[in-house]
Amino acid sequence: MIKIPYSIKAADDVINRYKINEPPVDLNVIVKNNGIRLIYKDFPDDVSGVLKINENKECTIYVNESHCEERQRFTIAHELGHYFLHKKTGVHVDKHFYYRNKKSSEAIIKEEIDANKFAAELLIPSKFIHNYLKKYDENSLLDEDIITQLANKFKVSVTAMSFKIQNLGYSF
């Protein structure tokens, strides 16, 4: 039996809880239903977003307003990953800001890896991709047009969609 990483299971639980049945995932529904404030802010380009949870457990996600929509969506999903995964486990320090930085993008900090996996599964649920690609077997080649169409449908970058498709065993 294949063990599903808890970050992916948590994202799937959120998808099921909010009865999300098709792309694109409406992140605003998740944010609002959890009482999270979402603020778009002018940050330096190397800062994608910030999650702040104060001592009263009030949560705010700040997103870089100058980034493209797909990047903003990933940032929100990533910060939701910290919110759902780390607040509950006690790993997440509620009084600190969490900045995306070079070290986190190198995938060597477990919390960042988990938040990235959560974000990828939340924005591009595996079950949705399998459903869209069920007419292709794992040995079929997917062309760039199909990947671009899926990226647009899910409102994610072509790169993110390519990674997801590859991670699920499809080729292009």
Tell me the per-residue pLDDT of 25-48, one tens digit each, with 9 for 90 and over.
999 999 999 999 999 999 888 888
Instruction: Count H helices and E strands in the chain, helices first.
Output: 8, 3
Average pLDDT, the chain: 84
DSSP strand pairing (49-53 vs 59-64): antiparallel
* Domains of the chain with CATH codes: 6-123 (1.10.10.2910), 125-172 (no CATH)
The CA distance from 5 to 14, in Å, is: 15
Tell me the per-residue pLDDT of 123-137, one tens digit each, with 9 for 90 and over.
999 999 988 888 765
The CA distance from 88 to 78, in Å, is: 16
Tell me the per-residue pLDDT of 45-76, one tens digit each, with 9 for 90 and over.
888 888 888 878 889 999 999 999 999 999 99
The CA distance from 145 to 110, in Å, is: 34
Largest CA distance in the chain: 51
What confidence score (pLDDT) does residue 84 get? 93
For residue 63, the SS3 value is: strand
Over the range 134-158, which residues count as b (16 or more CB within 10 Å of their CB) and which as e?
eeeeeeeebeeebbeebbeebbbbe
User: What pTM was estimated for this model as a whole?
Assistant: 0.85
Name the residue with tokens 């959560």: 118
What confidence score (pLDDT) does residue 140 get? 59
- Read off the pLDDT band of 144 (50, 70, 90): confident
Residue 37: beta bridge partners?
60
Find, among 160, 164, 161, 166, the residue nearest to 141 by Cα: 166
Find, among 48, 49, 44, the residue nearest to 60 by Cα: 49
